[in-house]
Amino acid sequence: MRAFLAPILALATVLISLSVVYCGFPAGLLSLERAFPPARHVQLEALRARDRLRHGRILQTVTGGVVDFPVLGSSDPYLVGLYFTKVKLGSPPREFSVQIDTGSDILWVTCNSCNDCPQSSGLGIQLNSYDAASSSTAGLIPCSHPMCTSEVQTSAARCSPESNQCGYSFQYGDGSGTSGHYVSDSLYFDMIMGQSVTTNVSATIVFGCSTDQSGDLAKTDKAVDGIFGFGQGDLSVISQLSSRGITPKVFSHCLKGDGNGGGILVLGEILEPSIVYSPLVPSQPHYNLNLQSIAVSGQPLPIDSAAFETSNNRGTIVDSGTTLAYLVEEAYDPFVSAITASVSQSVTPTIAKGNQCYLVFTSISDIFPQVSLNFAGGASMVLKPGEYLVHLGFQEGAALWCIGFQKVQGGVTILGDLVLKDKIVVYDLAHQRLGWANYDCSLSVNVSVTSGKDEFVNAGQLNVCSSSRDMLFKTLLIGISALLMHAMVLMEFQFL
């Protein structure tokens, strides 16, 4: 009888061990690093120039786990902010550095036959090119493919009868552009599945293979291998993966605003009790919110709400790729006037290179007021002084702080890293909403991979066991109980 019970008890021990291991898994921390030396300061005009290029890149037309993408870049407004990640494509996989872009949808990388493409990068990274002929899993997208005939995609897809390939041609507002053709191939990524368990996963996706680049895309100073579109369109990678249940249809970031920068980026919903949500404006290609009013020290500014209404050329966009922040003229002038009036007795207002600045002899947090951006749904984004001011050095023995918001004469209000830093920001595409909360981005976060209750800690340990894990645990206990009951019945037969 002992010989019979031994394997049953051994199996029970293994099953219990497995259930315990499955219960306590951490997700990996996605570290963000600077792409530029911390000592390299730049002027406001340089930051504005960089943002103009960034805004030009917003196209004029058009059940898995936590996915761990390594992220590099800078969120410091003193530096030229640029975030990029590394993706692995093809079989065998080849690594590409691609800029993270929430203003466009398509992932595209440089083809090996690309004309006038950079051969080196000022970012100190090795540039690679994609060769479909070298990948055993590559496939071309023919003209008959639905994405090439769909009315929704006509602005981003076109047919080349000579080659029977579905091609694309993107022209950006800064004059740069890229053209090429679509391919399908394997995307390889790490998915956090359990304690110290990272599973290598691959999924077939459609992406662009760039055969021509022009304008700033062809320059070497900030050259990367392509652009990773994080928009809402059907061809964005997050849409392709979530439509098959591989990842949730939500991604989040938390960018550190001090020190060496850094932060967290996950494909999943960061969970934090203080997060407030505002609905995304429907039928918009970008992350548009309905900004309703602005208050300084709790006092609403005299701004016509029509200044923020969404139309073809107006509205409010959240864009983590923009370094500063931009306000339409109707809101900018009252905003600056209210800030200046609030601090005029404690600082010396001055103009520096056309910017409203202040000479400050003490901490800005002791003098400058809080600013509230009030959105639809009752959600407010409260800005501390360091989230609307930028430090431009010293003058006459005082610190020179300037308004970080830039004036836009007609057009779109854009909330960039200046206001997004030190906050959890959740892009919940499944529920068409965007959420945020002030947060210390050096801490760990809880991430849900199903927009439900499957919670993970992104930097160390499990916070709440997932429902799927609980189901497995219960199933294992039932199995163990059945085995033990079977053993007891056999023992009773032996004693009869």
pLDDT bin (cut points 50, 70, 90) of residue 116 is: confident
pLDDT at 17: 33
Please tell me which residue in 105, 225, 319, 454 is annotated as part of the active site: 319
pLDDT at 402: 95
Q: What is the mean pLDDT of residues 100-127?
A: 88
State pLDDT tens for residues 44-63: 776 666 565 555 544 433 34
**Cα–Cα distance measured from residue 17 to residue 160, given in angstroms and rounded to the nearest whole number:** 57
Domains in the chain: boundaries: 62-267, 276-438
pLDDT at 449: 60
**Cα–Cα distance measured from residue 308 to residue 476, given in angstroms and rounded to the nearest whole number:** 56
Active site (annotated) includes residue 101: yes
State pLDDT tens for residues 120-137: 998 888 999 999 999 999
pLDDT bin (cut points 50, 70, 90) of residue 111 is: very high
Tell me the Cα Rg of the chain. 26
Q: Helix, strand, or coil here: 492?
A: helix
pLDDT at 317 over 70: yes
Higher pLDDT, 197 or 29: 197
pLDDT at 329: 94
Contact call for residues 251 and 71 (beta carbons, < 8 A): no
pLDDT at 41: 57
**Cα–Cα distance measured from residue 287 to residue 273, given in angstroms and rounded to the nearest whole number:** 23
Query: Rounded to 5 degrees, what angle do the CA atoms 70, 317, 343 make?
Result: 100
pLDDT at 380: 98
pLDDT at 76: 58
The arrangement of strands across the sheet holding 398-403 comes to 348-352, 355-360, 398-403, 389-395
State pLDDT tens for residues 331-361: 999 999 999 999 989 999 999 988 999 999 9
Please tell me which residue in 76, 101, 417, 428 is annotated as part of the active site: 101
CATH 3.40.640.10 fits 276-438, yes or no: no
State pLDDT tens for residues 453-486: 444 434 332 222 233 333 333 333 444 444 454 4
pLDDT at 89: 97
Higher pLDDT, 159 or 74: 159
Q: What is the mean pLDDT of residues 111-121?
A: 90
pLDDT at 171: 75
Can 62-267 and 276-438 be said to share one CATH topology? yes
**Cα–Cα distance measured from residue 56 to residue 58, given in angstroms and rounded to the nearest whole number:** 5
Q: Which tokens hold the place of 112?
A: 């090996």
**Cα–Cα distance measured from residue 457 to residue 30, given in angstroms and rounded to the nearest whole number:** 12
Give the highest mean pLDDT range of 258-272, 442-456, 466-480: 258-272
pLDDT at 166 over 50: yes
Contact call for residues 240 and 147 (beta carbons, < 8 A): no
pLDDT at 448: 77
State pLDDT tens for residues 292-308: 999 999 999 999 989 99
The candidate with the shortest Cα–Cα distance to 290, out of 304, 277, 298, 280, is: 280
pLDDT at 259 over 80: no
Assigned CATH topology for domain 62-267: Cathepsin D, subunit A; domain 1 (2.40.70)
pLDDT at 33: 40
Q: What is the mean pLDDT of residues 183-209?
A: 84
Chain mean pLDDT for the chain:
78
DSSP state of 221: T
